[in-house]
Amino acid sequence: MPNKVASPRGVGPLTHDELQHDLTHEAQVVTRLALETHQLRAIFERSSVATAVVDAQGRILRTNPALCQLIGRSEADLLYTSVLDLTSGDEPTVFGDGVTEQRLRHSGGREIWAVASAVDLPEAGEGALLVCFDDATTRRNTEKMLLHAALHDSLTNLPNRRLLRDRLETALHRAERSDKTVAVLFVDLNDFKRINDSLGHDAGDTMLVAVARNIISVLRTCDTVARIGGDEFVVLCEDVTGEGDISILVSRLLEAIRRPVMVEGRSATVSASIGVAVPGPRKETSDQLVRMADLAMYRAKQRPEVDYLLADETLATLGVPRSGLVAELRHAIQVDELELHYQPVIRMDGHIVGLEALLRWPHPRLGLLVPREFLHLAEGGELAGPLSDWVLRTAIAELAKLHDTTLRVSVNIWASEVARVGFADTVAELLTWAGLQARQLYLEMHEGDLPTAGAGLNHELDQLRKMGVGLAIDDYGTGGSSLANLRRLPVDTLKVDRSFVAGCVDDPADAAIVEAVATAARATGRRVVAAGVETAAQFVRLRELGYQCVQGFLVGHPRPLRELTDVLRRKRIDLNLS
């Protein structure tokens, strides 16, 4: 029986209904695609984000109105130009690699900061991109303004101490690679208080702004002038070849500062004292150079016949070589020729809670010397230990004579001395000998000394804390301690640096730091104290920020203990805050 061959399965003609259904479906698809295309086009056109479609060669195929408005150019002007032509600056521009910040050129010439992002857009061709620009100019300008405020004095617009430190450290590094050096000139206006008292603080501010402008007018392009507080300026001079350069610049500075200034409708003049420091073989740090120049300025004030004094001459010019002064200091320690003066520390209600012991040296020929004039002779040397022991022993003994267990005494001490093996045991013996409770003693260490104090510091601090001795970081805010490092230190008090307190009312940067210290203290469960409080306005601001205690000239000047008897009997100081 022959095999049957299957007949081919053909496609028969569509019926009228089937044909109508397919045509309707196709029309719906076309209509939907057209509608989606129209919607996408509308979104593209109306988007507030500046957007462009570019091909694989970077040529602009399409722009939306937002981009045209952002850069001030029409779409017709932009079509088929390179997207790279929109950018400004010398840096190579890359699109299609995530999110970047770009500087765009406006047709009016100004620069626009924008956050640029790009995604592949194969629908526009192989290698095509959809590039979006989000205007970031306002944010950038705000960041720039805040950075400027943090690094500049709000009154004179000069660099402040933080920017000065940065520039000085950079200058010192540059000087190491050249045959020239740098010089730090500490400038303090003479009798400036007279202007404030006689003409008012607004007039004083006018004078400071004019003096700043006059100083700038005589500086070289490589020099920097900073206002570091009150009527104090610091000039950083680079590319100095010798004292001849310094002498010329000092002469120009003094002449500029003495120029008459119109204040409150009258002519006013002011003079200045200048101290100068240059790096020596010891390779001083930026902070050390400023302190040396400050000391030289202090001595220059006592010698009005000279224009300025070099830091290494401040004592030599008085006929006292360094080696001789070290020997005299050693003798003064041995025979108790040093003195302690005390400054009250009060709560915000005026109640006296303690005294800070401040070292003084009544030198037989040089007069009463303050620590900044002679401590450098002992710091880090063989006299550091004996001097620290003398201060600690004397402060404890003199407090014990008051027989007042409600008072405490604060003693400044080098962190390197606290790190000595057995230091806590020595403190315990002294307290027992004097009959004082451990809580009546506070040890204050400079923040900048903590990182180099030595490995034994934390152990000794732990021992002191367990005894009940109070531990404070002095001059907080100047040493750059992080909050993480602060949490690891067994200290219970932060004392904000007096230089920040001086500007806490008028200088936004200083005010921010004073507030930040209070915040850091609260965040880590510590007390916060302000030093160097001189005005009622400062006191009120510190009280608003939550400071528990203050000290300074507003509270009282440092005096021998015998002159504080009546004050300590009353147990409080009434402040005039009007």
Once rounded to an integer, what is the mean pLDDT over residues 187-205? 80
Instruction: Provide the residue ranges of all domains of the chain, joining segments of one domain with +.
Output: 33-135, 144-314, 342-570
**Helix or strand or coil: residue 182?**
strand
The residue ranking higher by pLDDT, 569 or 451, is 569
Once rounded to an integer, what is the mean pLDDT over residues 154-160? 87
Once rounded to an integer, what is the mean pLDDT over residues 117-143? 80
Whether 225 has a pLDDT exceeding 60, the answer reads yes
Position 354 confidence tier, pLDDT thresholds 50, 70, 90: very high
Give all strands (DSSP E) within 35-161, no chain letters. Answer: 50-54, 60-63, 99-105, 111-120, 129-135
- pLDDT, the chain, mean: 81
> In whole angstroms, how far apart are CA 546 and each of 60, 527, 550?
59, 10, 11
Position 17 confidence tier, pLDDT thresholds 50, 70, 90: low
Q: Which CATH superfamily is domain 33-135 in?
A: PAS domain (3.30.450.20)
Instruction: Give the residues across from 271 on adjacent strands.
Output: 190
Q: Using CA atoms in the order 409, 413, 418, 420, what is the torsion angle rounded to 10 degrees?
A: -130
Whether 4 has a pLDDT exceeding 70, the answer reads no
Cβ atoms of residues 449 and 414 within 8 Å: yes
Cβ-proximal residues to 199 (8 Å cutoff; 6+ apart), any chain: 263, 264, 268
Position 315 confidence tier, pLDDT thresholds 50, 70, 90: very low
* 406-445 residue pLDDT tens: 999 999 998 889 988 899 999 999 999 999 999 999 999 8
Whether 395 has a pLDDT exceeding 50, the answer reads yes
* HEC assignment per residue over 341-379: EEEEEEECCCEEEEEEEEEEEEECCCEEECHHHHHHHCC
**Which CATH number is 342-570 given?**
3.20.20.450
Position 314 confidence tier, pLDDT thresholds 50, 70, 90: very low
Max mean pLDDT among 74-78, 308-312, 506-510 falls in 74-78
CA 568 vs. chain centroid, Å, equals: 37
Once rounded to an integer, what is the mean pLDDT over residues 532-557? 90
The residue ranking higher by pLDDT, 266 or 321, is 266
Q: Closest by alpha carbon to 493, among 521, 461, 514, 466? A: 521
Once rounded to an integer, what is the mean pLDDT over residues 133-140? 80
Whether 317 has a pLDDT exceeding 60, the answer reads no
- Position 19 scores a pLDDT of 47
- Position 222 scores a pLDDT of 86
- Position 1 scores a pLDDT of 47
Residue 349 identity? D
Largest CA distance in the chain: 146
Cβ atoms of residues 549 and 347 within 8 Å: yes
Whether 320 has a pLDDT exceeding 50, the answer reads no
Polymer length of the chain: 578
Any idea which residue has 């610091």 for tokens? 234
Whether 8 has a pLDDT exceeding 70, the answer reads no
**Helix or strand or coil: residue 110?**
coil
Once rounded to an integer, what is the mean pLDDT over residues 38-63? 80
Long-range contacts of 422-430 (CB under 8 A, 24+ apart): 423/460, 424/460, 424/463, 424/464, 424/467, 425/463, 426/389, 427/392, 427/464, 427/467, 427/469, 428/467, 430/392, 430/393, 430/396
Position 338 confidence tier, pLDDT thresholds 50, 70, 90: very high
Strand order in the sheet with 60-63: 60-63, 50-54, 129-135, 111-120, 99-105
Instruction: Estimate the crossing angle of helix 536-544 against helix 508-523, to 10 degrees.
Output: 40
C-alpha 55/C-alpha 79 separation (Å) is 11
- Position 184 scores a pLDDT of 92
- Position 236 scores a pLDDT of 93
Whether 505 has a pLDDT exceeding 50, the answer reads yes
Q: Closest by alpha carbon to 313, among 300, 302, 301? A: 300
pTM: 0.54
Structural element, H or E, at residue 549: strand 549-550
Evaluate whether the domain defined by 144-314 bears CATH number 3.40.50.300: no
- Position 126 scores a pLDDT of 84
- Position 10 scores a pLDDT of 46
